[in-house]
């Protein structure tokens, strides 16, 4: 049996035997590298999405604050006009 071969294990679940293939040797190293690369890509995409969401939320908050400020100014103008 060579290091690069696939190790087969038997697992008994609910009375049935299941075969599980586990990569070893070079296959394991390449799959680990692939997983790390995929993880790095996913983290980058997640960070970009989170920053985009934060920008949208901040923009929405600024628009809401502008509307509130305009309403307060209009109220102050009406109050001063009444005095």
* Residue 13 clears pLDDT 70, i.e. is over it: no
The answer to whether residue 2 is domain-embedded is: no
Query: 17 or 74: which carries more pLDDT confidence?
Result: 74
- DSSP 8-state code for residue 4: T
- Quote the tokens at residue 38: 């995929």
Query: 1 or 69: which carries more pLDDT confidence?
Result: 69
pTM over 0.85: no
- The H-or-E segment that residue 13 falls in is strand 7-13
Residues contacting residue 60 through CB under 8 Å, at least 6 positions apart: none
Q: Please report the pLDDT score of residue 83 as a whole number.
A: 79
Give the lowest-confidence range in 25-34, 44-53, 69-78.
Answer: 25-34
The answer to whether residue 53 is domain-embedded is: yes
Q: Domains in the chain: how many in total?
A: 1
The answer to whether residue 1 is domain-embedded is: no
């Amino acid at each position: 049996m060579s290091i690069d071969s696939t190790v087969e294990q038997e697992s008994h679940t609910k009375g049935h035997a299941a075969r599980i293939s586990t990569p070893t040797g070079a296959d394991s190293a390449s799959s680990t590298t692939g997983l790390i690369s995929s993880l790095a890509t996913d983290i980058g995409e997640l960070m970009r999405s989170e920053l985009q969401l934060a920008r949208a939320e901040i923009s929405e908050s600024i628009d809401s604050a502008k509307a509130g400020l305009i309403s307060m100014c209009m109220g102050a103008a009406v109050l001063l006009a009444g005095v």
